[in-house]
Amino acid sequence: MLDLQSNNIGNTGSQYISHLLENNKTLECLSLACNVIGDNGAALIAAALDANKTLTTLDLQQNQIAEQGGKILLNTLKTNQTLIKFNLIGNPCSQANILDEITLIKNDKMVTSIKLESRRIEEKGAQYIAEALINNERITSVNLDHNKIKDQGLKCLMNVLKIDKKILILSLDDNGIIDEGAEYIADMLKSNNTLRILNLHSNQITNEGAQSIANALTYNTVLKELNLSHNKIRKKGLEYFIDVLGHHTPIVDIDFSGNPAPRCLIVSATTAVLQERTVRDVMLKSKCVGMRKVRYLAKALVLAKSLTVLDLDDNKLGDDGVQCIAQALTNSKMLTVLKLRRNLISFVGIQYLVPILHNMPVIKKLYLSNNQIGDEGAKIIASFLQSNTTLTMITLDQNEIGSDGEHFLIDAFINNTTLKTLDIAGNKSNGCTILECLVHLRFNTEMASLSLDNNQITDQGVHYLVDALKTHQKMTSLSLDNNQITDQGAEYLSEMIKNNRTLKILSLRSNKIRRRGGQLIADSLIDNTTLTKLYLDNNECTVIQTMCAIRNDDIFNLIDLQRKHIEDTDLQYLSHSLKYNRRVTTIILNGNNIGNTGAQYLADILRNHTNITELSLESNNIGDEGAKYLADALQNNTSVIKLNLSCNKIGTAGAISLTEALLNNTTTLEIDLRRNTLLTLNLQSNKIGDEGAMHLANGLRNNTTLQELGLRENDVGPLGAQYLADVLGENTTLVTLILRDNIISDAGLEHIANALNTNKTLNVLDLSRNKIKASSRRHLINMFQCNQSLINVDLTGNGQGDCAVIGAAVEIRNNQNLTTVNLRCSRLGDEGTKILCQALQVNHSIITLDLQSNDISENGAELLAKVLYDNEKLTTFLLGNNKIGDNGAKCLADAFHSNTVLSILDLSANNIGPIGIGHLSLALCNDTTLIKLDLSSNEVGNEGVQLLANGLNKNMRLKDLDLGINNIGDEGVEYLANLLKNETGLEKLDLRSNQITDRGAECLATGLSQNRTLKRISLWQNEITANARRKLFGWIIWC
């Protein structure tokens, strides 16, 4: 091999190459690509090739060889017997695109096909190719698609093919061939005995050319396939072929598609049938056959004795077209598949079709989807199915079939034993989907799972389905979610559940099943041991839905059925479902219609399920009888922690029953969620009265576990309180006792207070709204002083301040986690304050104390001052709107000298005058923590302001000072203005509703001009004019 590409070799260099080729006896490959060889150089190389006998590959691509040099090289190749690969591409000569293939045709003994599509070959190039094909002994396929050989180039090729004995396939698509060229083709066909396939797609042949080719076919006995698609053949040209093809047998495939004749596609198909009487499949899907053109096909189909498949989908045949096809198929005995989908067929077309189907002995598949057969057409097909024994598949989806048609088809299906596949979805009747499923189920006995969700299945459809599943032994999962199933359908399903022993999962979500249907399903589950998952979510049977969730083990620990209209019978199903779930610990049934019978079912639950720790039955209709059922269950129960029976109809007898249960409930005190016992009993809003309280008290004497007892609104009076008090003196487990909204009065309180002197376990006591009067003061105080365990005592709504303060005092003293005490407007007075201060002395956690509006005088202030002396937690102290006066202010001021944490102090509206302000001023001199001081609505006056200003001269901590409504005039403002000139920490100053005039405002403006800290001042409702206010605007935010 010699590679000389890209070496700038020209015509002169070609001379040396020529000498080399003439003398060298071994060189086989020579590359001269990408040089500058021209026509003269090509002539020199061509001359040398005549003498050379060894070179097999010559590459001259991308040189400058023009038309003359190309001709010389071409003539040389005609006689050269050794060159196999010759590349002239990229040269400016017309022969460049074909010389390589011509070389192969002549000299490559292995080549059997040539592909020259899209080579820009014109008439001259076709002539060269024709010359190369003379005496062809190997080439069987020639592809010249997408060139420009035209009629004269075609003439040369056809002359060769007249005598050729090897070429089987000739493709001349898109070559500009017109009628003259068609005559050359026709002349060739008359004498050629080898060509089997001829492609003339996308040329310019018209009726005249078609006539020439059609006539030639009468002489030709070998051509099988002819493609004349996308030419210019019209109706007359097609008629020539129809006449000829009726007597010409070899052609089996002819394509006229894309011609302007109206029946091109039909003639193509008709030709296949006419010329091949043994044709088995005719596929004309989406070929725009239509009602008028179908008769041409029908005429041919009469002769198709061996036809097995006929596909006419998507052709808009209509009823008349179906009639034509049906008549043509009258004697068709081998047809197995007939496709007529999307053809505008109504019941009339079905009337034409069905009689023919009766005579087809092997018909197996019939496709009629997306037509318009309706109920009448379904009736005709149903009649056919009654007696047919060959059809295995029929499609009737999207055919406007209603409920009547559905019934006809179902009746036919019952008697038909061969149909295996039925497609009937998308019709008017909701039951059609079920029918489709029934057909599928009959022959698919191994099916284990079936989903029919979102199909608008009605009760009747469920009926059919249930019947089909009676003999189906492999189905384990059935889903019917989001359909139209009501109680009637639920009844059919319940019968199936009773007898079925294979189904494990049944889903009926989002249907219309109500209480009755749910109960029927629940009843069927009692004896069923195989169904493990049943879903009824989003129906109208709440209890049964929950029951299913419990049975499915989808509920972990809580059943919440509050206000679900649950009745007694529903609880029977709940009890049954809990057999399958041992994780539920809490059942909430508040606000339902549960009575004594329901309580009996619940009692069964408590007996059988030792994992239940909480049962809430608030606001139901349980009476004494129901309470007895529950009490009996509690006798030996060792798990229930909390039982809520508030707002029922339990009276004395019920309380007695519960009391007796408590006598035997003696398990451990420790709250153990696995094996605990009754800790909470809530009997709110019943009518147990004093007698019931007596029995409850008796029960509590020996009970060592009950921790909470709620007896709100139960008509418990002084006597009942006495019974309970007797128990409190001995009981060591009860932590919470709720007696609010009863009538225990002062006498009852005395008993309870005395009992609490020795009780060490009760933490919470609610005696609010119990008609307790002032005469109980000493009992309350005694209870407060003696009891160290109470944390929360509620005595509100009893008509006196002592009750409120006693409750607060108890919590303050015993709850060391308390941080805020709010007793605003509690009518404490000095006596109440005394009790409060006793509690505050031992509590070191209070941060905020609000005692506003409580009639506290200087005596109460003195008591509070003692609390403040050593307090290290209190940061906010609100004492506004009391009556402490100057002496009270003095006591508090003295306490502030040693207090290091108080930051907010409210002494507004306390009758404090200049004397009290003087004491406070002295305290401010040394105070380093107070940041907000409210002295509004007192009697400070100008004198008091002077004293206060003196104290603030040495205080840099105070940020917020309120002196509103204090009779301060211009003289007092002058003291404040001087204070503002000096370095101070004040950021907010409130002087609203005083007696300040323009003179005072001018003083303030002067002081503010030298102040850098004040951000806000309020001078609202003073006697300052607009001009004076404007002087202040530049310094502060006006309020």
Q: Please tell me the predicted confidence (pLDDT) of residue 776.
A: 66
Q: How far apart are CA 171 and CA 142, in angstroms?
A: 6
Interval 54-68: pLDDT, tens: 998 899 999 999 989
Q: Please tell me the predicted confidence (pLDDT) of residue 1039.
A: 47
**103 and 121 assigned to the same domain:** no
**599 and 700 assigned to the same domain:** yes
Q: How far apart are CA 449 and CA 444, in angstroms?
A: 11
At 592 the three-state DSSP class reads coil
Of 814, 838, 868, the residue that ends a domain is 814
Residue 96, pLDDT > 90, answer no
- Report the pLDDT averaged over residues 78-96: 82
Q: Please tell me the predicted confidence (pLDDT) of residue 927.
A: 76
**63 and 191 assigned to the same domain:** no
Q: How far apart are CA 551 and CA 535, in angstroms?
A: 10
Whole-Å CA distances, 731 to 541, 720, 766, 786: 46, 16, 17, 17
Which range among 256-270, 496-510, 535-549, 665-679 shows the weakest confidence by mean pLDDT?
A: 665-679
Q: How far apart are CA 372 and CA 840, in angstroms?
A: 92
Residue 861, pLDDT > 70, answer yes
For residues 630 and 643, is the Cβ–Cβ distance under 8 A? yes
For residues 999 and 972, is the Cβ–Cβ distance under 8 A? no
Of 527, 554, 581, the residue that ends a domain is 554
For residues 159 and 129, is the Cβ–Cβ distance under 8 A? no
What 8-state DSSP symbol labels residue 857?
B
Whole-Å CA distances, 619 to 454, 572, 612, 643, 693: 40, 20, 20, 13, 20
Strand (E) or helix (H) holding 876: strand 876-878
- Is 34 contained in some domain? yes
Higher per-residue confidence, 1028 vs 265: 1028
The DSSP bridge partners found for residue 281 are: 309
The pLDDT confidence band at residue 667, using thresholds 50, 70 and 90, is very low
**261 and 146 assigned to the same domain:** yes
**150 and 59 assigned to the same domain:** no
Q: How far apart are CA 703 and CA 754, in angstroms?
A: 21
Q: Please tell me the predicted confidence (pLDDT) of residue 687.
A: 67
Which range among 422-426, 451-455, 516-520, 542-546 shows the weakest confidence by mean pLDDT?
A: 542-546
Q: Please tell me the predicted confidence (pLDDT) of residue 888.
A: 97
**456 and 525 assigned to the same domain:** yes
At 644 the three-state DSSP class reads strand
At 847 the three-state DSSP class reads coil
- Report the pLDDT averaged over residues 684-713: 74
- Is 998 contained in some domain? no
Q: How far apart are CA 940 and CA 917, in angstroms?
A: 7
Q: Please tell me the predicted confidence (pLDDT) of residue 669.
A: 30
Higher per-residue confidence, 637 vs 451: 451
- Is 305 contained in some domain? no
Residue 275, pLDDT > 60, answer no
Phi, psi of 905 (to 5 degrees): -135, 125
Sequence-ordered list of residues with C-beta below 8 angstroms from that of 956, at least 6 positions apart, any chain: 983, 984, 985
Show the CA angle centred on residue 684, arms to residues 679 and 686, nearest 5°. 125
Residue 276, pLDDT > 60, answer no
- Report the pLDDT averaged over residues 200-212: 95
Where residue 180 falls (left for φ over 0; alpha for ψ -120 to 50; beta otherwise) is: alpha
**541 and 586 assigned to the same domain:** no
For residues 530 and 554, is the Cβ–Cβ distance under 8 A? no
- Report the pLDDT averaged over residues 568-574: 85
Higher per-residue confidence, 943 vs 1028: 943
Nearest Cα residue to 706 out of 673, 751, 661: 661
Higher per-residue confidence, 281 vs 979: 979
Residue 127, pLDDT > 90, answer no
For 50, other C-beta atoms within 10 Å of its C-beta total: 13
Beta strands in 127-178 (DSSP E): 141-143, 169-171
**470 and 481 assigned to the same domain:** yes
**Highest mean predicted confidence (pLDDT) among 272-281, 344-353, 522-531, 1009-1018:** 344-353
Sequence-ordered list of residues with C-beta below 8 angstroms from that of 445, at least 6 positions apart, any chain: 472, 473, 474
**530 and 599 assigned to the same domain:** no
Average pLDDT score, the chain: 85
For residues 14 and 37, is the Cβ–Cβ distance under 8 A? yes
Higher per-residue confidence, 305 vs 194: 194
Residue 528, pLDDT > 90, answer no
Q: Please tell me the predicted confidence (pLDDT) of residue 296.
A: 66
- Is 867 contained in some domain? no
Q: Please tell me the predicted confidence (pLDDT) of residue 284.
A: 64
Of 683, 715, 747, the residue that ends a domain is 715
Q: How far apart are CA 721 and CA 127, in angstroms?
A: 129
Q: How far apart are CA 82 and CA 25, in angstroms?
A: 13
Interval 244-254: pLDDT, tens: 765 655 777 78
**548 and 460 assigned to the same domain:** yes
Q: How far apart are CA 320 and CA 317, in angstroms?
A: 7
The pLDDT confidence band at residue 685, using thresholds 50, 70 and 90, is low
Q: How far apart are CA 149 and CA 127, in angstroms?
A: 9
Beta strands in 502-652 (DSSP E): 505-507, 533-535, 558-560, 586-588, 614-616, 642-644
Which range among 265-279, 419-433, 782-796 shows the weakest confidence by mean pLDDT?
A: 265-279
- Is 252 contained in some domain? yes
- Is 736 contained in some domain? yes
Model confidence, pTM: 0.46
> What does the block give as tokens for 86?
């010759």
Q: What does DSSP say about strands 932-934 and 365-367: parallel, antiparallel, or unpaired?
A: unpaired
Q: How far apart are CA 952 and CA 14, in angstroms?
A: 118
**539 and 678 assigned to the same domain:** no
Residue 145, pLDDT > 60, answer yes
Q: Please tell me the predicted confidence (pLDDT) of residue 750.
A: 86
Residue 75, pLDDT > 80, answer yes
Q: How far apart are CA 651 and CA 614, in angstroms?
A: 22
For residues 45 and 19, is the Cβ–Cβ distance under 8 A? no
The pLDDT confidence band at residue 429, using thresholds 50, 70 and 90, is confident
For residues 906 and 878, is the Cβ–Cβ distance under 8 A? yes
Q: Please tell me the predicted confidence (pLDDT) of residue 407.
A: 86
Higher per-residue confidence, 4 vs 285: 4
- Report the pLDDT averaged over residues 103-115: 78
Q: How far apart are CA 225 and CA 256, in angstroms?
A: 12
For residues 355 and 329, is the Cβ–Cβ distance under 8 A? no
CATH number of the domain where residue 646 is located = 3.80.10.10
Nearest Cα residue to 172 out of 196, 190, 145: 145
Provide the CB-side half-sphere exposure for 391 (13 A, CA): 26
- Report the pLDDT averaged over residues 779-795: 76
- Is 951 contained in some domain? no
Phi, psi of 193 (to 5 degrees): -120, 10
The 3-state secondary structure of 349-388 reads HHHHHHHHHHCCCCCCEEECCCCECHHHHHHHHHHHHHHC
Q: Please tell me the predicted confidence (pLDDT) of residue 426.
A: 86
Whole-Å CA distances, 805 to 737, 821, 855, 926: 19, 11, 13, 34
**711 and 726 assigned to the same domain:** no
User: Structurally, how many domains does the chain consist of?
Assistant: 5
Portion of the chain with pLDDT greater than 90, in percent: 38
Whole-Å CA distances, 176 to 123, 409, 1007: 11, 59, 108
- Is 424 contained in some domain? no
> What does the block give as tokens for 400?
């406007």
Q: How far apart are CA 827 and CA 156, in angstroms?
A: 128
What 8-state DSSP symbol labels residue 109?
T
Residue 1016, pLDDT > 70, answer yes
- For residue 746, give its domain range: 718-814
Which range among 78-92, 99-113, 219-233 shows the weakest confidence by mean pLDDT?
A: 99-113
The pLDDT confidence band at residue 369, using thresholds 50, 70 and 90, is very high
At 989 the three-state DSSP class reads strand
